[in-house]
Structures are given as structure tokens and as C-alpha cells.
């Protein structure tokens, strides 16, 4: 059903960047920062504006930038994206892998002082499942969520799910919310979470202000508050950072980053993200059903050049999906640009004078830029690329209908290898719009999905990845870097591969 | 006067009704389902149904239109597809930014255009006149967004005198507001000034040729008195119209300039609504702008009729 | 008696030849048309010759206008983009001219309720700032070259309708029209043979000026990312794409903008000169509201 597809896409691209400012939801009560104490208030410039602040309803990255500091999940990824205790202090798994029992941290309260118990966890998860909200797919194997007592949550599964923790804690779209706050509709503008900060005001087109949550269960944040302002233009964001109006931004002009790294007045750091960008060829259409045509195109691409144009080098070229820093990284690079080889493969496949439609979207300008480089490169082997630039909604529609020869897009915010491969390359995968079918890969992905032995699981994913790359199901291009800059006054901040921005351990020298 | 007023009011009312029809039909022309398109990746059935019925899309067209107009009359322009907030509030909160920019720009334009236009008319044919005409030709031909970019490069980049973009509310920090409003206001103002210069010049020239001016001059009145008392007073009447029309257009928000300078006004709102496919907001913004435009025009006509009784007869 | 197109255009040409500004404008226009027709042949490099090893290079002998963010030669793209601008300008003004003149002709000729309805419709369109309406139309129909043409055509239609109607009203009562009516000529024939040629002068002026505004509008739409899609070079789009880089690469902002400016200036100079000769008292409605939006 198309509705499913849209919903799924919303999740896949949960972290959409650059959603333009516009209208946001309502005015909060402005709490005067009056008590500027030791930590002070950090102002962070982000490039987009939250559309709303209900974590289960939004899919906009700017919303999650704010909500990361407001909400908690049962578990949460540490710096290496390994799942660590958060609201759950510990958990056990039954022998058949079908029952997970979580112990909920004691004496946790929401920022309004009311207690957070297992009931809240059950309510939050069932809300996502019952209302089929964005993250519902993460509960695909969940049969029930129950709270036998206020300190325990039991998750019952229909099949072993080794990546359950990543599903439950991967991002704040799985946040534990407060029933009354959500049901009154207030969560859209005045969300109440249990995280280190609480939203104090939300002004459309301007800023969102957070104050320290003095009821926070963890180490109390040093900052008195965080103010998120929306600055669309990276040049302006940089100027604001230099001028001291803001102390942190993730919106630096990409072409200046290498120069900025050497600048003593700023701290610029980056981390390889777990996002990846790729080119997909429609295997339901001739001649792209021919693996040799796909491989020819793979050999014609100069990934370094594409990366340089699309990201000014702020990315790592990769021929598989999973980035280098991940435990699941698989070093496999069969394609180096080789025009002779590409032409030979193309000729063997009988593909001459090919005109290829390449669908990209304004929503992600890097696809538009990269497409122009790809077009120039494919011209070298006699393929004429017609670039089609669409609105994202239209783009998704065309993708769903299979109306394309090829498209370029990215997958953002994946953590577990299952998220990287299953939906995209399994013949029954929800996002297999390019029509890839390989029974061997299906088998491997099905197996790995429920494989509880980590070593065996890793090996299965490597085999699957190799086959996917050899078949050129996706032509993987690069993993972008997360680049953020801040003032030297800021201490305790770390750039994270999952693009979550956490200010709870940050201090601000005066 | 009353008859003229009534006729003008009626006419404006009819045009405004037409405007609502156009604005209403915009949504119908969207290929496919506007709510679905608007929601895009944010689609979920609950929101979808809520927005659809809120927008009244499940009813026959004439009913939809009637209720749209009915609600618009009570100040209800629907809710945003994107945020679920009332459109009226969203649009109104953008007005101060646009107003402050438009007024500043027009004031700047008048400061430039008035002396330029009057002097070049009084010294018609002189070097000064030619220079003024070159200036105005330049001003109507230059793309304002390009001039804006060049202004940012020079004043914000090289000289560092003004911030390249951004907005501070006048009520919160007048100095901050002034430094932010300067570049966009000058950019718009220069274009407006060149249009005004032309009108002022030709208007003054026209009056100078009138009999009563010649009479006054023949009576031996000093030139300055003639200019101030007769020429300017009469020449400025038509100029008022042009200034008002300019102001009315600027109130609609100069989209490109507001986007370029990240000025959170109505123009920027329109642009954002287009990007986000937020049709109710787009409709609301356009409706407001057109209504403002009509209102200003109406006021100008009335003012004009007061200033120049001949108009009423027409 | 009934004036005709030939003498109008002859008068216009003579007038242009005498006015140095108009000649300058005319020369620029000729160069533009040459660039439009032979741009890809004149261009020193291919418009889509991407080369990431020469990204954002300042102007040099090899690349007189520098290179853009993916290493393309800016001069070549500016040259070739002339065609898009002229095309959009011509087609959109063509639409506005065709529709506007037809409506204005009928409104002015038949008057009465038809006139009332048509002109109130034009008033409605006129109530929207130009660019705002164009943006709204693009938002509804989806961005692209064709949409841009239609959108700009629609917003400039009322001007032509008004100018035409005003002309028709004054011509209608003249002797030669009445005589034609008396001979029993059909309405359409009268409009074509007697009315139209006599209102050609203001229409020519309006066309020339509208071309300037249409090109400006297309540039503005493209600058908002709502006009011509990449990789096709268009001046406004080049500014849009280069926006993030202008602080380091001024040439990305300067040259395409200068091209727009010169083109618009040329049309304005020619249009003004034409007006001075053909129709000195014409109220340029469009001028008063040109950058409204």
C-alpha cells in the first residue's frame, strides 16, 4: 500500500535535514533565564526549524536535535553506537530469545516532577504500535509490551530479534513520553520528557529554548540551558559563531571546513557518520536488469570525484554501506574507475547509445550536485544521463511506482546491519524499489536477522554485502562526515556518528 | 463623494471575492492529493484524515468554497498542513518583520527619489538630469537579488559593516534591528527609488507646463515659492499613488529579498510554504497580501479623491 | 486613415537609430540573440564539463569567468544560458500578449457586461504581486521550464489586456471604424483589420518592456530554485547554486547577475526609446509594480 510506503520512507529518512523554517507549533511559556549560574546558556545554531516537538510524530532532523536533550529512551547508543543502559538499568533475554525483560531505573521523574514508571514505557510503545506512527516498523517482531510491576517491562517477540536494543534506543523517535502531555496535544509544542533539559519556550521562526531539568536522573547538566536558533545560511552561522552570538553549530560552509580546522578561534570536529549515499538502477527495466550494465556503470564512476563535488571531501568513499568505524564494516572495493573495463562490459551487454534517466531531489541538494558529476562521468562510456530534479514528495511517488531508470539518495541514521541491508535488498524488502532479487542474499539476510551468535552474524552480513556489491544492487558512493564547530569556551562536547547532539555533559567557560 | 465611495467599495469587494476564488482554486489545481503531497514523508493516516476533513476536502467544491469564504470572513484561514497551527496566526506573526522592512525601504526610496526627481525636472536636460535618468534606468533593470548578493559581498564581507542576513525584532533591540534592516532595505529601496524618481520627474515636468505655474512665474513670484507652493503640491498628488502602490507591493513581502536576507516576513513565509507544500499557509499568505494590496489601493483612491475633486466625477 | 503595422515599425526603427541609448540596447540584444543561437558553439568549454580538480577557480585566461563549485566553466554556462532567458521571455510574453490582447480586444470592442466580467477578472489577477502569483502557480504545477513560462505569462496578461482595452476604446469611436461597421464587415474582421493595427504602438512598447520584466521574473524564480532545473544553465539558477559560495567565489555571483542586468537593461532601453517615439504618454503600469513580489 502506498500509505505504508510513505510511512516507511518517513522512518528511513527519519533524520531529514534542511527542512525549511516555516510554521511551527505554538508558543510555549517563556521562562526567563534569570538565574544565569555557573554553566550559563549555550546557544546552538541549527540549519532547520523543528516542525513540532512530539517525538513520535516528527520526522524532521531539527526536531530530533532538540529532542535528543529532552527525552530518554530505554537504552541509548554510546559514542561507538553500542547500546548502553538509559531508562532501563539492565535486561535479560529468555533462552528462546523471545522474551526480553527490562528493569526500569528507580526514582526517575519527568521534568514536571511526576514519576516515570514501566507503565509509561508500555504506553509509549503501544502508542507507536497502535497508531502506526513513524517508528512502528521497529516493532515488527514485537508481540506485546507489558508491565508486570512498576519497575519491569516485558517485551514479547514473535521471532528472535538480535537488534532489538538498536531498535528501541537508536533514536529519540522511540522516546518514553508522558501520557497526559501527549493526549492533551501539548507535546507538539511543550513536550515533557525525562531528559537532561526541558523545553521552556518554542517560538516559530526564531528559537527553541531549553532549561536544565533539575529532576534529571543522571548527572546534572552543567549548563543552565540551551537555546536553539535557526540559521539556514552556513556563512551566517559561521559568522555568528565567530561573533559569539552562538557557541555551537552544525551548519558550517562545507568548502571552508578544511581551512577552519586550522583556525584557533574555533573548534571544528568531524566524525564519520553511519549515513550512506548511493545510486540505484531499476532492475525491473531493461537494460539495467543485466548485471553487466550495472557493473559497467559501477566501473565508470569516479567515487572520489563525486564525493569531492557533493561534499567537498567531507565524506569517506565507500563501496559498501557500513562505514569504516562500525564493528560491521566490511572492506571490499572491487570497483575502481576503469573506463575500458566499463566500455567492455557495456558492449558485451549490447548496451550502446544508452540514455539513462536519473532521479534526484531538491530536498537533498547533494544529490543534484552529484548527479551532474555522475552524468559527466557516464558520458565517457557513452551513456547520456537525463537528470530529473523533483520535489521529495513527488520523488517518493515516482520511486514507489517504479518510474525511474536510476535514482540517487541516502540512508540516514542506521545502526544495526539489518537496517542497512534487509529492507533495501531482500526481495521482500519494503524499500527494494529497484527490484533486486537474489535468493542467496535473501537467505543470508533472513538468517542473519535472527542469528544470535555475533561472530556468525557478522560473517553472514559480510557474505550478503559482497554479493550485493558484486550484483551492483546499490552502487554505494560514500559515508558523509558529521561536521560540527564550536567556540573554544565549550568543553565536554563530542561529535557523534549518529548525528545525535547531546549537551548534557557540556560546560561553557565564561 | 458617497456614491464614489460606495462604488469603489463594491468594486473592491467583488475583486476580493475573485481573489478568494483564485486562492481557493490553487489548492484544487495541485496534481494529485494535496494533503498527501503536503505530508510527504510525514504521512500517517491519522494526521491525513484530520487535515483532509479540516481542509474540507471531502465535500463538494461549491460547499468547500462557500465555507472557505465564510471562515475567512471570521478570520479563520484553516490550519497549516505542516504544524497544525492556525494559518491566521502564522501569517499575522510575520507581518511586523515585513512591515518594518517595507516602510524602511519606502522611506529610504523617498529620501533618494524626491530630491533626485524634483531637481532633475527643474533642471531638465542638464547633466544632473541625465545622471538621474541613468540611475533610474539602472535601478529598474538591476535584479534586486543580484544587487543584494553584491551588497552582502561588499558591506558584510569585505567591509564587515553589516550582518549578511538575519532579523532582530525592532521592539527587542532597535540597534540590532537597524543593522539588520539596512542591507535589505537599501536593496529594495534603490529599486523603488528609481521607479519613483521617474514618476516624480515626469509629474513635476507636467505641472511646470501648466498655465497656473506660468502665471505664478509671470507674477514675479520667486522660483522657490513657485516650486514649493504650486509645483510640488500639485505634482505630488499622482506621486502619492505610486508610492502607495509600491508600499502595497512591498507589504506582500519581497520574496527574493526576504529569502536572500533570511528576513522572516510574509514573503519568506510564502517561500517556505511552497517548499513545504503547506498549501493552507500559502493560500493564507497570498490572500492576506492581495487583500492588503486592495485595501491600500482603495485608501489611495479615497485620499486622491479628497486631494483632487476632479477624480470623483470620473 | 487606418494606420498599419508597416509604418509603425518603420517609425520605430528610425527612432531607435537616432537614440544612442537605444542603439546600445539594440546592440546588446543582437549579441544576446547571437549568444542564444550559437552559445554552445561560441562557448570555450562544454557547459556540463565537470572537473572536480578545478573547483571554484577564480577568473583566469583559461576560464575568464572562473569555474563553479563542480569545476565547470562559468563563461560557457553564462553564454549558453542566454538561450533559456530569451526563450522563457519570448514564450511567456507571447502567452501574455496573445491572451491579454484577445481579452482586451473583446472587452473594449463589445463593452457592457463582457467588458465588466473580463476586466474584473484582470483586476483580480492584478491584485497579486507579480512574483508572488508566479511562485504560487509554480508551487501548484511543480517547478520546471514550462511552468515558469506559463506562470510568468499569466501574471503579465492583465497588463496587455488593459493596454489593449484602453487602445480599443479610443479607436472604436473613430470614423474609419464606424465606416467599417456601416459596410457590414464582421466584428472579427473589423478588429483585425482596423482596430489592431491602430493600437500596435502601445503594444509594441509594452512587449519590449514586458520582455525585460519577464526575464527578470524568470531569473527570480530560478534564483528561488523554482525555475529551470539543473543541469541546464540559467542565470538565476547559477546564482541560486552559487549562493553558498559567493563569499569565497565572487565570480559565481557576479557574472550571471551581470548578464541578467545587461539583458534587462537592453530591453528597457529599447522599450523606453520606443515609447518616447510611439506612445509618449503611455502609463507604464507594469513599471509601477515591477518588483512587487
User: Do A155 and A142 contact (CB within 8 A), yes or no?
Assistant: yes
Could you give the CA distance from residue B137 to residue A280 in angstroms, rounded to a whole number?
A: 51
A244 interface with B at CB cutoff 8 Å = no
What's the confidence (pLDDT) of residue A258?
A: 87
CB-nearest to B271 from C219, C224, C287 is C224
List, in order, residues 6 or more apart from B198 with CB less than 8 Å away: B117, B136, B140, C287
What's the confidence (pLDDT) of residue A14?
A: 34
CA A159 vs CA A101, A416, A428: distances in Å: 15, 17, 17
What's the confidence (pLDDT) of residue B157?
A: 75
> Could you tell me which residues are beta bridge partners of residue A315?
A480
| Number of B–C residue contacts, CB under 8 Å | 152
User: Do A417 and A461 contact (CB within 8 A), yes or no?
Assistant: yes
- The C-alpha of C229 sits at a distance from chain A's nearest C-alpha, in angstroms, of 7
pLDDT top residue among B81 and C212: C212
Cβ-Cβ contacts under 8 Å, A182 against chain B: none
Could you give the CA distance from residue A392 to residue A13 in angstroms, rounded to a whole number?
A: 11
Q: What is the pLDDT of residues B263-296, one digit of tens each?
A: 888 988 888 888 777 888 988 998 888 888 888 8
Please say if the pLDDT value at position B173 is more than 90.
Answer: no
CA B240 to chain centre: 15
Termini Cα distance of chain B: 11
Could you give the CA distance from residue C201 to residue A503 in angstroms, rounded to a whole number?
A: 69
The residue-averaged pLDDT of B163-171 equals 80
Helices within A330-386 (DSSP H only): 339-348, 365-379
Q: Which residues of A423-455 are buried (b: 16+ CB within 10 A; e: fewer)?
A: bbbbeeebbbbbbbbbeebbebbeebbbbeeee
Residue C263 pLDDT level (bands cut at 50, 70, 90) = very high
> Could you tell me which residues are beta bridge partners of residue A411?
A276
Cβ-Cβ contacts under 8 Å, B47 against chain A: 57
- The C-alpha of B22 sits at a distance from chain C's nearest C-alpha, in angstroms, of 8
Could you give the CA distance from residue C262 to residue C266 in angstroms, rounded to a whole number?
A: 6
CB-nearest to C52 from A373, A388, A394 is A373
User: Do C21 and C273 contact (CB within 8 A), yes or no?
Assistant: yes
Are residues A369 and C142, on separate chains, in Cβ contact within 8 Å?
no
Could you give the CA distance from residue A477 to residue A366 in angstroms, rounded to a whole number?
A: 12
The residue-averaged pLDDT of B50-64 equals 75
pTM for this model (two decimals): 0.82
Total H helices, total E strands in chain B: 16, 0
Cβ-Cβ contacts under 8 Å, B14 against chain C: 120
pLDDT top residue among B77 and B45: B77
User: Do A487 and A503 contact (CB within 8 A), yes or no?
Assistant: no
From the CB of residue B199, how many other CB atoms can be counted at a distance below 10 Å? 22
What's the confidence (pLDDT) of residue A31?
A: 37
Nearest to C32 by CA among C95, C83, C68: C83
- Beta-sheet pairing, A406-411 with A276-281: antiparallel
3 state DSSP class of A360? strand
What's the confidence (pLDDT) of residue B1?
A: 62
Q: What is the pLDDT of residues C65-76, one digit of tens each?
A: 999 888 899 999
Phi and psi (nearest 5°) for A445? -70, -40
Cβ-Cβ contacts under 8 Å, C129 against chain B: 249, 252, 289, 293
List, in order, residues 6 or more apart from C189 with CB less than 8 Å away: C180
Max CA pair span of chain B: 82
Residue C38 pLDDT level (bands cut at 50, 70, 90) = confident
CB-nearest to A26 from B44, B85, B281 is B85
Phi and psi (nearest 5°) for A46? -115, 155
**ipTM computed for the complex:** 0.83
Could you give the CA distance from residue C163 to residue C251 in angstroms, rounded to a whole number?
A: 40
- Residues above pLDDT 70, as percent of chain C: 91
What's the confidence (pLDDT) of residue C6?
A: 58
pLDDT top residue among A216 and C6: A216
List, in order, residues 6 or more apart from A262 with CB less than 8 Å away: none
Residue C7 pLDDT level (bands cut at 50, 70, 90) = low
Cβ-Cβ contacts under 8 Å, A369 against chain C: 69-70
Are residues B141 and C250, on separate chains, in Cβ contact within 8 Å?
no
C69 interface with A at CB cutoff 8 Å = yes
The residue of chain A with its CA nearest to that of B30 is A394
Query: A touches which chains (3+ CB pairs under 8 A)?
Result: B, C
The residue-averaged pLDDT of C177-205 equals 84
Cβ-Cβ contacts under 8 Å, A377 against chain C: 50
User: Do A26 and A191 contact (CB within 8 A), yes or no?
Assistant: no
Are residues C288 and B242, on separate chains, in Cβ contact within 8 Å?
yes
Could you give the CA distance from residue C221 to residue C260 in angstroms, rounded to a whole number?
A: 13
Please say if the pLDDT value at position B312 is more than 70.
Answer: no
Could you give the CA distance from residue C76 to residue C79 in angstroms, rounded to a whole number?
A: 5
Termini Cα distance of chain C: 43
Residue C290 pLDDT level (bands cut at 50, 70, 90) = very low
- Digit-by-digit pLDDT tens for chain A (510 residues) are 233 223 333 333 333 332 222 333 333 333 333 333 457 899 999 988 887 899 998 877 889 999 999 999 999 999 888 899 999 999 999 999 999 999 999 999 999 999 999 999 999 999 999 988 878 888 989 999 999 999 999 999 999 998 899 999 988 999 999 999 999 888 888 999 999 999 998 876 678 999 999 999 999 999 999 999 988 778 888 888 988 889 999 999 888 898 899 998 999 999 888 899 999 999 999 899 999 999 999 999 999 999 998 888 899 999 999 988 888 899 999 999 999 999 999 998 887 789 999 999 887 888 999 999 999 999 999 999 999 988 777 787 788 889 999 999 988 878 889 889 998 999 988 789 999 999 999 999 999 988 888 899 999 999 999 999 999 999 999 999 999 999 999 999 999 988 899 999 999 987
A390 interface with B at CB cutoff 8 Å = no
DSSP H or E segment with residue A423: helix A417-425
The most confident of the ranges A83-97, A348-362, C50-64, C127-141 is A83-97
Query: Is the link from the previous residue into C124 a cis peptide, with omega within 30 of 0?
Result: no
Amino acid at each position: 500500500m502506498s500509505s505504508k510506503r510513505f510511512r516507511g520512507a518517513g522512518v528511513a529518512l527519519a533524520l531529514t535535514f534542511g527542512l525549511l523554517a516555516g510554521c511551527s507549533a505554538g508558543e510555549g511559556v517563556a521562562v526567563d533565564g534569570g538565574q544565569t549560574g555557573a554553566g550559563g546558556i549555550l546557544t546552538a545554531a541549527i540549519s532547520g526549524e523543528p516542525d513540532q516537538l512530539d517525538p513520535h510524530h516528527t520526522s524532521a532532523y531539527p526536531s530530533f536535535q532538540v529532542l535528543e536533550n529532552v527525552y530518554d529512551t530505554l537504552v541509548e547508543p554510546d559514542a561507538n553506537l553500542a547500546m548502553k543502559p538509559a531508562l532501563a538499568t539492565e535486561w535479560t533475554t529468555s533462552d528462546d530469545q523471545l522474551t526480553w525483560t527490562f528493569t526500569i531505573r528507580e526514582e526517575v521523574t519527568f521534568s514536571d516532577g511526576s514519576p516515570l514508571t514501566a507503565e509509561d514505557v508500555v504506553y509509549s510503545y503501544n502508542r507507536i504500535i497502535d497508531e502506526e506512527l513513524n517508528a512502528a516498523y521497529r516493532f515488527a517482531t514485537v508481540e506485546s509490551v507489558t508491565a508486570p510491576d512498576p519497575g519491569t517491562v516485558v517485551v514479547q517477540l514473535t521471532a528472535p530479534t538480535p537488534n532489538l536494543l538498536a531498535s528501541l534506543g537508536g533514536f529519540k523517535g522511540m522516546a518514553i513520553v508522558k501520557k497526559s502531555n501527549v493526549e492533551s496535544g501539548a507535546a507538539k509544542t511543550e513536550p515533557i520528557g525525562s531528559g537532561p533539559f526541558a523545553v521552556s519556550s518554542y517560538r516559530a521562526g526564531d528559537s527553541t529554548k531549553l532549561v536544565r531539568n533539575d529532576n534529571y536522573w543522571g548527572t546534572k547538566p552543567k549548563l543552565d540551558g540551551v537555546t536553539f536558533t535557526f540559521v539556514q545560511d552556513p556563512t551566517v552561522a559561521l559568522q555568528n559563531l565567530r561573533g559569539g552570538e552562538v557557541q555551537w553549530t552544525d551548519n558550517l560552509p562545507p568548502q571552508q571546513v578544511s581551512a577552519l580546522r586550522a583556525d584557533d578561534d574555533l573548534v571544528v570536529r568531524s566524525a564519520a557518520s553511519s549515513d550512506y549515499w548511493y545510486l540505484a538502477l531499476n532492475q525491473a527495466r531493461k537494460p539495467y536488469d543485466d548485471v553487466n550494465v550495472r557493473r559497467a556503470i559501477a566501473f565508470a564512476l569516479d567515487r572520489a570525484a563525486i564525493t569531492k563535488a557533493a561534499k567537498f571531501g567531507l565524506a569517506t568513499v565507500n563501496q559498501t554501506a557500513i562505514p569504516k568505524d562500525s564493528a560491521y564494516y566490511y572492506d571490499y572495493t572491487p570497483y575502481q574507475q576503469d573506463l575500458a573495463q566499463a566500455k567492455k562490459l557495456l558492449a558485451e551487454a549490447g548496451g550502446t547509445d544508452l540514455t539513462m534517466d536519473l532521479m534526484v531531489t531538491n530536498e537533498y541538494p547533494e544529490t543534484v550536485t552529484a548527479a551532474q558529476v555522475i552524468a559527466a562521468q557516464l558520458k565517457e562510456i557513452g551513456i547520456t544521463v537525463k537528470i530529473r530534479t523533483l520535489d521529495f514528495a513527488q520523488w517518493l511517488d515516482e520511486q514507489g511506482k517504479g518510474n525511474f531508470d536510476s535514482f540517487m539518495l541516502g540512508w540516514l541514521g542506521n545502526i544495526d546491519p539489518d537496517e542497512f541491508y534487509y529492507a533495501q535488498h531482500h526481495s521482500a524488502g519494503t524499500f527494494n524499489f529497484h527490484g533486486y532479487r537474489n535468493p542467496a542474499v535473501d537467505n543470508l539476510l533472513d538468517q542473519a536477522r535472527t542469528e544470535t551468535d555475533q561472530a556468525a552474524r557478522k560473517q553472514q552480513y559480510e557474505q550478503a554485502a559482497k554479493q550485493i556489491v558484486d550484483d551492483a544492487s546499490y552502487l554505494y558512493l560514500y559515508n558523509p562526515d558529521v561536521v560540527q564547530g564550536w567556540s573554544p569556551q565549550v568543553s565536554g562536547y563530542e561529535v557523534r556518528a549518529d548525528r545525535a547532539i547531546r549537551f548534557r555533559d557540556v560546560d561553557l567557560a565564561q | 463623494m458617497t456614491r464614489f465611495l460606495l462604488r469603489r467599495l463594491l468594486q473592491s469587494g467583488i475583486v476580493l471575492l475573485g481573489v478568494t476564488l483564485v486562492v481557493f482554486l490553487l489548492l484544487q489545481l495541485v496534481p494529485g492529493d494535496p494533503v498527501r503531497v503536503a505530508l510527504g514523508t510525514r504521512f500517517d493516516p491519522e494526521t491525513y484524515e484530520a487535515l483532509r476533513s479540516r481542509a474540507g476536502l471531502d465535500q463538494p467544491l461549491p460547499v468547500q468554497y462557500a465555507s472557505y469564504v465564510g471562515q475567512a470572513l471570521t478570520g479563520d484561514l484553516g490550519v497549516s498542513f505542516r504544524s497544525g497551527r492556525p494559518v491566521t496566526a502564522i501569517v499575522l506573526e510575520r507581518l511586523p518583520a515585513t512591515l518594518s522592512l517595507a516602510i524602511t525601504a519606502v522611506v529610504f526610496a523617498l529620501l533618494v527619489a524626491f530630491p533626485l526627481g524634483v531637481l532633475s525636472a527643474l533642471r531638465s536636460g542638464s547633466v544632473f538630469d541625465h545622471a538621474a535618468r541613468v540611475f533610474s534606468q539602472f535601478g529598474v533593470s538591476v535584479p534586486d537579488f543580484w544587487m543584494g548578493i553584491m551588497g552582502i559581498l561588499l558591506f558584510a564581507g569585505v567591509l564587515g559593516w553589516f550582518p549578511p542576513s538575519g532579523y532582530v525584532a525592532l521592539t527587542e533591540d532597535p540597534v540590532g534591528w537597524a543593522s539588520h534592516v539596512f542591507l535589505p532595505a537599501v536593496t529594495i529601496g534603490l529599486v523603488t527609488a528609481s521607479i519613483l524618481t521617474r514618476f516624480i520627474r515626469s509629474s513635476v515636468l507636467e505641472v511646470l507646463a501648466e498655465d497656473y505655474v506660468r502665471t505664478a512665474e509671470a507674477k514675479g513670484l520667486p522660483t522657490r515659492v513657485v516650486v514649493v507652493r504650486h509645483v510640488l503640491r500639485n505634482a505630488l498628488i499622482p506621486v502619492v499613488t505610486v508610492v502607495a502602490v509600491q508600499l502595497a507591493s512591498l507589504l506582500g513581502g519581497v520574496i527574493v529579498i526576504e529569502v536572500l536576507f533570511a528576513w522572516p516576513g510574509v514573503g519568506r513565509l510564502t517561500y517556505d510554504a511552497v517548499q513545504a507544500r503547506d498549501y493552507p499557509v500559502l493560500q493564507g499568505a497570498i490572500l492576506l497580501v492581495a487583500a492588503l494590496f486592495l485595501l491600500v489601493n482603495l485608501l489611495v483612491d479615497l485620499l486622491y479623491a479628497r486631494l483632487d475633486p476632479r477624480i470623483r466625477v470620473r | 486613415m487606418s494606420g498599419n503595422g508597416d509604418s509603425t515599425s518603420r517609425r520605430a526603427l528610425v527612432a531607435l537609430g537616432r537614440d544612442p541609448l537605444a542603439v546600445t540596447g539594440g546592440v546588446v540584444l543582437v549579441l544576446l540573440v547571437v549568444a542564444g543561437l550559437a552559445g554552445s558553439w561560441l562557448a570555450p568549454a562544454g557547459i556540463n564539463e565537470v572537473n572536480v580538480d578545478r573547483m571554484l577557480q577564480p577568473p583566469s585566461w583559461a576560464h575568464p569567468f572562473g569555474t563553479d563549485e563542480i569545476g565547470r566553466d562559468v563563461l560557457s554556462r553564462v553564454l549558453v544560458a542566454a538561450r533559456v532567458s530569451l526563450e522563457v521571455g519570448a514564450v511567456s510574453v507571447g502567452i501574455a500578449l496573445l491572451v491579454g490582447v484577445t481579452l482586451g480586444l473583446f472587452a473594449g470592442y463589445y463593452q457592457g457586461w463582457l467588458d465588466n466580467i473580463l476586466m474584473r477578472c484582470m483586476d483580480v489577477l492584478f491584485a497579486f504581486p507579480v512574483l508572488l502569483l508566479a511562485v504560487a502557480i509554480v508551487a501548484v504545477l511543480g517547478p520546471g521550464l514550462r511552468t515558469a513560462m506559463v506562470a510568468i505569462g499569466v501574471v503579465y496578461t492583465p497588463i496587455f489586456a488593459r493596454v489593449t482595452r484602453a487602445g480599443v476604446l479610443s479607436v472604436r469611436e473613430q470614423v474609419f471604424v464606424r465606416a467599417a461597421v456601416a459596410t457590414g464587415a464582421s466584428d472579427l474582421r473589423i478588429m483585425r483589420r482596423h482596430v489592431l493595427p491602430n493600437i500596435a504602438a502601445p503594444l509594441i512598447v509594452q512587449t519590449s518592456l514586458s520582455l525585460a520584466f519577464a526575464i527578470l521574473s524568470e531569473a527570480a524564480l530560478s534564483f528561488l530554485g523554482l525555475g529551470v532545473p539543473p543541469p541546464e544553465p540559467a542565470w538565476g539558477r547559477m546564482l541560486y547554486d552559487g549562493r553558498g559560495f559567493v563569499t569565497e567565489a565572487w565570480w559565481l555571483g557576479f557574472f550571471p547577475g551581470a548578464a541578467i542586468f545587461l539583458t534587462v537593461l537592453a530591453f528597457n532601453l529599447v522599450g523606453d526609446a520606443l515609447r518616447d517615439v510611439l506612445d509618449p504618454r503611455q502609463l507604464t503600469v507594469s513599471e509601477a509594480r515591477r518588483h512587487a513580489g
